[in-house]
């Protein structure tokens, strides 16, 4: 892709704030269309997702809803959906994307992976280079709702290298109303939150406080818990939103509301007011059926961020004077960034192997092992040893040692491609130390 990044010295990086430190069940055959809409959009996608304002014409929604066609998939048989969360018309900056998430569904091995993108990520689009959270709002203002959704999908596809098939823009009000309709949510709050800067209804602020521990949240409190960010990090907020998705799904299951016509009607009214999506009826039905088999508690989730010591830490903050005084985030290395997104969303089974990896420097070039270990940690791999390879002469070509081929085959194959090597030594069980914890050893060569 033609991703323009200004030539800015890495030494000019200004870390503004290490924000990342502090991120349905569905129906059986013959159940109503309303149920498919609500479960698929409001519950599976609901919380951290996103929407358009209530001014969206219902006639347009109805026409889009009843569009027919199979569920689109990429070459890996995944369906990828961009979820945007907005405040909606009437709120300050109501159409700016307050949260941005990609959900990737795999129907062959029913699973879903979530990846949250930071609002300040600066990328190209068909309406110019902008912060990610501004693209939908600007495109919608200039071209209208549907074209706005297409433009933000195209921009995220180009940046990520992953085809985005569908989009959903959901007003955060839908989340509050769905939680209320379900009678509230039970959720464990991992740490106290005291946010004196939560926006009120009159362009001012109110104080939001919630304490650590098991809490029962009503709709208004759940919405504040999902959106609060001034005294915590965007990473923490993305994680809270993903936790709330699971709580929504569990609550829907516990209530067994699938045949409650009154609830279904209530949810349909919520959908009419708050959801803008290019998913048609048949796509919603397919997603809903897939949702029955997904184990959401084993879903892979991640946040793209700017901490080079953490998983997903591929972004950096350039000097603000190059961007009109704006605080923005750029990828340090677009190829590695796209590799990370592909691992999380399209090939999460590699990360789920949780291979224990050793990185040894056989090249005799200082720093090779530590640099490589940092790079792999950013990709999400578990590095448990970094050191030097014991050899009299430098190793020319990087090679791998595989200690547990039955457990970590996907990871080994990925690393072989990553390091462009076909040299893989499967260590025989009889020669492995019983106290060995390593699954894969990488010996770096000079190549």
Quick check: is 129 in a domain? yes
Split into its structural domains, the chain has a count of 2
Residues 41, 115: one domain?
yes
d(C-alpha 127, C-alpha 143), whole Å: 10
- Least confident range of 37-41, 237-241, 286-290, 423-427: 37-41
Which of the listed residues 345, 376, 409 is the one where a domain comes to its end?
345
CA-CA distance, 255 to 235, in Å (whole number)?
A: 31
Same domain membership, residue 199 and residue 67:
yes
Mean pLDDT over 330-358 rounds to 96
Distance CA 101, CA 232 (A): 19
26: pLDDT strictly greater than 50: no
pLDDT at 126 (0 to 100): 96
Q: What is the pLDDT of residues 129-169, one digit of tens each?
A: 999 999 999 999 899 888 999 999 999 999 999 999 999 88
Please tell me the predicted confidence (pLDDT) of residue 350: 96
Provide, rounded to the nearest whole percent, the portion of the chain with pLDDT above 90: 42
Instruction: Compute the mean pLDDT over every residue in the chain, rounded to the nearest whole number.
Output: 78
Question: Please, where are the H alpha helices in 32-131?
Answer: 33-37, 58-65
Q: Is the model's pLDDT at 241 over the cut of 80? A: no
Same domain, 341 and 361: no
Looking at 345, 363, 396, the residue that finishes a domain is 345
Same-domain check for residues 63 and 163: yes
CATH number for the domain that contains residue 429 = 3.30.70.2390
Whole domain around residue 422: which residue ranges?
Answer: 353-444
> Of the candidates 345, 368, 399, which is a domain's last residue?
345
- Check residues 426 and 181 and name the one with the higher pLDDT: 426
> Do 372 and 316 share a domain, yes or no?
no
Q: Look at 210-219, 329-338, 403-412 and tell me which has the smallest mean pLDDT.
A: 403-412
Residues 313 and 369 in one domain: no
Task: Tell me the pTM.
Answer: 0.77
pLDDT at 163: 97
Whether residue 290 is found in the same domain as residue 306: yes
Judge if 293 and 394 occupy the same domain. no
Residue among 167, 134, 142, 159 at smallest CA distance from 328? 134
pLDDT in tens, 242-288: 678 777 777 776 766 555 666 666 666 666 667 778 887 677 777 77
Q: Are residues 134 and 269 in the same domain?
A: yes
Residue 183: which CATH number?
3.40.630.190
84 and 113 in a single domain? The answer is yes
* H or E element, residue 289: helix 281-293
Residue 340 and residue 364 share a domain = no
Same structural domain for residues 386 and 338?
no
């Amino acid at each position: 892709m033609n991703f323009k990044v200004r030539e800015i010295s890495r030494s000019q990086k200004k870390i503004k704030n290490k924000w990342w430190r502090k991120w349905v069940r569905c129906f059986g055959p013959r159940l109503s269309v309303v149920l498919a809409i609500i479960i698929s959009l409001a519950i599976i996608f609901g919380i951290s997702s996103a929407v358009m304002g209530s001014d969206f014409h219902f006639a347009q929604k109805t026409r889009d809803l009843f569009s027919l066609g199979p569920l689109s998939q990429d070459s890996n048989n995944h369906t990828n959906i961009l979820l945007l969360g907005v405040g909606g018309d009437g709120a300050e900056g109501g159409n700016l994307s307050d949260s941005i998430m990609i959900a990737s569904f795999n129907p062959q091995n029913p699973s879903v992976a979530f990846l949250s993108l930071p609002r300040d990520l600066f990328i190209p689009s068909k309406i110019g280079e902008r912060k990610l959270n501004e693209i939908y709002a600007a495109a919608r203002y200039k071209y209208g709702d549907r074209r706005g959704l297409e433009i933000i999908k195209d921009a995220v596809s180009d940046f990520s290298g992953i085809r985005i098939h569908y989009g959903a823009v959901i007003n955060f009000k839908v989340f509050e109303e769905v939680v209320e309709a379900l009678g509230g949510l039970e959720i464990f709050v991992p740490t106290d939150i005291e946010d004196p800067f939560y926006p009120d209804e009159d362009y001012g602020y109110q104080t939001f406080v919630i304490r650590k521990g098991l809490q029962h949240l009503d709709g208004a409190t759940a919405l504040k818990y999902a959106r609060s960010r001034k005294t915590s990090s965007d990473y923490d907020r993305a994680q809270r939103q993903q936790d709330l998705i699971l709580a929504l799904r569990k609550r829907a299951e516990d209530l067994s509301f699938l045949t409650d016509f009154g609830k279904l009607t209530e949810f349909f009214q919520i959908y009419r007011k708050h959801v803008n999506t290019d998913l048609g009826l048949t796509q919603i039905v397919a997603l809903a059926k897939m949702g029955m088999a997904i184990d959401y508690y084993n879903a892979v989730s991640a946040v793209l961020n700017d901490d080079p010591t953490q998983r997903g830490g591929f972004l950096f903050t350039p000097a603000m004077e190059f961007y009109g005084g704006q605080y923005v985030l750029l990828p340090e290395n677009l190829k590695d960034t796209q590799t990370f997104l592909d691992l999380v969303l399209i090939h999460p089974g590699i990360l789920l192997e949780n291979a224990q990896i050793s990185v040894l420097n056989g090249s005799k070039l200082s720093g090779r092992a530590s640099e490589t270990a940092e790079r792999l940690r950013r990709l999400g791999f578990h590095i448990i040893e970094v050191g030097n390879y014991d050899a009299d002469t430098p190793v020319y070509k990087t090679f791998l040692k595989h200690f547990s081929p039955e457990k970590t085959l996907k990871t080994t194959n990925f690393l072989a491609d990553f390091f462009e090597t076909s040299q893989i030594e499967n260590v025989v069980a009889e020669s492995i130390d019983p106290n060995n914890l390593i699954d894969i050893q990488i010996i770096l060569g000079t190549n």
